[in-house]
């Protein structure tokens, strides 16, 4: 691991000077020191089940929509199933379900031995084994020792340089607001953590009566070792829920990892070009080190518009007003327009929230532009309204790869389908040699009047989106609230080149769920048997059958084919996509793990060329 990181650091330690725009209205100041307390996950008391009272996590209002352009129709031809980007290989599991709070606000991080998922109002630690075995779970209230308080909007990242986990959440308590942030003491999240309670209603050292909402959590590193900088961002609202300004807080990673007293440096009241208050500024999670830990942040408008503002923090570990940390509004990048989507239709005539166009999470990586030149790249995506025709207005994913070396958009595009809503996207680049940053996986939620909101992924490279999206977990009902989202998670796997992990919310009857996926552009769990070429298409009966909970499915291809192997439940609902790729002729096997599904009858359908066949399988619990 250390050798890999040193190689990565050598690839990218370069710095550049830009003609930055003058920043107007920003204020910055240091904050006082805070001591941590220690929490051992393995010694936490069992959490008390929170009554199902449909607690809503707070969400402040959008600023007034100042854009007057016409975004009624997206000008490019886009459609699910029509492009030719990279195929994906997916292994998925049912993730955690509602535990007293809504919406899910799901996020994910991956380390050497564990996968960690956070949702409202819980954390979940899994082992990196074939079954994704859950080894620890508890409420955030228990972890942060805040029983009965409003703890919401969790985030989690893994620092590959210092090999530590970082978990945070927000709290509002009357006129008080807090950033709760915790740092694991080792590379395992199952042991002890340092926990800090940071005042979010204090800007620098000035007390306000504002509360923080919709956080961002990012990190950058200066080489390898203990030179990580941690970045927290939030929107600041008054007690009436009216947006006031955005805030950026910078923390020294080394002090936090060692359990020392930590201070911070705050920037707030930043404005975009034209004087609009910067809304939902998000820091990147950096997967390459940068000169002195340089950090890039971006913000969209939130409402309808056509730009991203790019921010840059230089020397984030030097907390000094003279020759130290600085925030620069680097540029305004014009992109294809985005506009606030309409509400997502669901079966039964109900609708759920499709959110707005505020910035979703951001990942930084070195990549190559269309000319093959290596540049600083930021990856993000938004939902946006799209008019397919009369009576057919839905939501698509707008994906953006921003070249912040030259302050231009490198790649952008839309993905969607008629009468269908694509929402809450989060892209993660497939970090693999030669590090061109072209292939990304995008986690998102899809729903319509006939499909309950489900967790899916799609891929994109310079040639476009993949030929189809891939199901992570299906929706199975409506959980009874208009509120949905507010974001999905996607993260780079630090151990496996080209692998990405995803999580997002699904709609379930009276109880939201989530789906966890392990995604790659190379095969996962599909094994070719021998070298012979079969003489006919065949889907063999699964073995064993009945099964509990794993069974093997074998199929034969006499010619090269596009192959789909889909699992349906007894209601005809798709519950798993095992294969969705182009394969050469041969005999193949793949495992189906139904450990998180109820017992009963399931159906496996293969489609290969003009051939289709279905077999019935029985799981007994």
What's the pLDDT at 60? 67
**Average pLDDT score, the chain:** 87
Can you give the three-state secondary structure of 159-176, one letter per residue? Answer: ECCCCEEEEEEEEEECCE
pLDDT tens-place string over residues 232-279: 999 999 999 999 999 999 999 999 999 999 999 999 999 999 898 999
Q: What is the band of 525 on the pLDDT scale with cuts at 50, 70, 90?
A: confident
pLDDT tens column, 90-145: 888 899 998 878 899 999 999 999 999 999 989 999 998 878 899 999 999 999 99
Question: Considering the domain 2-46+74-520 in this protein, what is its CATH number?
Answer: 2.120.10.10
What is the predicted pLDDT for the residue at 418?
A: 94
In the chain, CATH 2.120.10.10 covers 2-46+74-520
Nearest Cα neighbor of 155 from 188, 116, 196 is 116
- CA angle (361 as vertex; 171, 80 as ends), nearest 5: 130
User: What average pLDDT score do residues 532-539 get?
Assistant: 94
CATH 2.60.40.2550-classified regions of the chain: 529-619
CATH number of 529-619: 2.60.40.2550
> Which pLDDT score, from 0 to 100, does residue 91 have?
84
Structure-token pair, residue 315? 């020397």
Maximum mean pLDDT: which of 324-333, 370-379, 526-535: 324-333
Whether residue 395 contacts residue 423, with contact meaning beta carbons closer than 8 Å, is answered with: yes
Nearby residues of 7 by Cβ (< 8 Å), 6 or more positions away = none
Instruction: For residues 188-195, give the mean pLDDT.
Output: 97
Cβ proximity of 342 and 387 under 8 Å: no
From the number of C-beta atoms within 10 Å of its C-beta (0-12, 13-18, 19+), residue 277 rates as middle
Mean pLDDT check: name the lowest of 62-76, 146-160, 498-512. 62-76
Cα separation of 389 and 361, whole Å? Answer: 31
- What is the reported pLDDT for 63? 65
Give the strand pairing for 538-539 and 550-557: antiparallel
For the segment 19-40, what is each residue's pLDDT rounded down to a tens digit? 343 444 568 888 888 999 999 9
In this prediction, residues 57-62 reach a mean pLDDT of 66
**What local confidence, expressed as pLDDT, does residue 47 receive?**
64
Match 């997206």 to its residue by tokens: 74
């Amino acid at each position: 691991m250390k050798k890999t990181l040193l190689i990565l650091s050598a690839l990218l330690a370069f710095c550049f000077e830009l003609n930055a725009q003058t920043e107007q209205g920003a204020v910055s100041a240091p904050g006082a020191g805070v001591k941590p307390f220690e929490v051992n996950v393995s010694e936490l008391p069992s959490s008390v089940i929170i009554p199902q009272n449909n607690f809503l996590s707070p969400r402040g209002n959008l600023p007034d929509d100042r854009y007057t352009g016409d975004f009624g129709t997206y000008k490019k031809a886009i459609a699910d199933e029509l492009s030719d980007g990279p195929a994906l290989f997916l292994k998925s599991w049912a993730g955690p379900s509602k535990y007293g709070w809504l919406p899910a606000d799901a996020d994910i991080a991956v380390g050497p031995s564990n996968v960690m998922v956070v949702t409202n109002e819980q954390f979940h630690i899994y082992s990196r084994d074939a079954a994704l075995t859950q080894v620890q779970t508890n409420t955030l209230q228990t972890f942060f020792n805040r029983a009965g308080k409003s703890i919401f909007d969790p985030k989690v990242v893994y620092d590959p340089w210092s090999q530590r986990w970082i978990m945070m959440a927000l709290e509002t308590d009357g006129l008080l607001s807090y950033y709760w942030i915790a740092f694991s003491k080792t590379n395992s999240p199952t042991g002890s953590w340092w926990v800090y309670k940071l005042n979010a209603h204090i800007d620098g050292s000035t007390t306000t009566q504002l509360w923080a909402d919709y956080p961002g959590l990012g990190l950058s590193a200066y080489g390898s070792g203990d030179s990580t900088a941690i970045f927290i961002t939030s929107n600041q609202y008054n007690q009436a829920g009216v947006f006031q300004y955005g805030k950026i807080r910078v923390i020294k990673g080394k002090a936090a990892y060692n359990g020392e007293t930590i201070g911070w440096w705050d920037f707030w009241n930043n404005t975009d070009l034209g004087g609009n208050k910067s809304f939902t500024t998000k820091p990147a999670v950096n997967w390459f080190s940068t000169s002195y830990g340089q950090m890039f942040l971006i913000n969209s408008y939130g409402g309808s518009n056509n730009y991203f503002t790019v921010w840059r923090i230089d020397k984030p570990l030097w907390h000094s007003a003279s020759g130290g940390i600085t925030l620069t509004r680097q540029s305004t990048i014009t992109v294809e327009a985005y506009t606030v989507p309409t509400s997502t239709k669901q079966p039964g005539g109900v609708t759920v929230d499709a959110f707005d166009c505020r910035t979703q999470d951001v990942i930084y990586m070195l990549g190559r532009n269309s000319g093959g030149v290596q540049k600083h790249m930021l990856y993000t995506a938004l939902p946006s309204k799209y008019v397919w025709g009369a009576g057919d207005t839905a939501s698509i994913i707008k994906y953006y790869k921003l070249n912040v070396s030259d302050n231009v958009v490198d790649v952008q595009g839309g993905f969607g389908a008629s009468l269908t809503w694509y929402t809450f996207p989060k892209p993660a680049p497939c970090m693999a040699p030669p590090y061109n940053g072209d292939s990304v996986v995008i986690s998102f939620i899809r729903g319509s009047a006939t499909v309950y909101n489900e967790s899916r992924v799609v891929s994109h490279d310079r040639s476009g989106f993949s030929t189809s999206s891939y199901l992570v977990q299906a929706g199975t009902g409506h959980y009874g609230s208009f509120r949905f989202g507010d974001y999905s998670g996607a993260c780079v796997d630090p151990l496996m080149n080209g692998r990405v992990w995803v999580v997002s919310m699904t709609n379930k009857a009276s109880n939201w769920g989530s789906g966890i996926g392990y995604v790659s552009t190379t095969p996962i769990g599909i094994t070719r048997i021998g070298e012979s070429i079969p003489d006919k298409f065949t889907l063999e009966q699964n073995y064993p059958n009945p099964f509990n909970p794993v069974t093997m499915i074998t199929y034969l291809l006499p010619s090269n084919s596009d192959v789909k192997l889909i699992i349906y439940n007894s209601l005809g609902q798709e519950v798993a996509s095992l294969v969705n790729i182009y394969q050469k002729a041969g005999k193949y096997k793949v495992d189906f793990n139904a450990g998180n599904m109820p017992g009963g009858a399931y159906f496996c359908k293969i489609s290969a060329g003009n051939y289709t066949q279905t077999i019935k399988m029985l799981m007994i619990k």
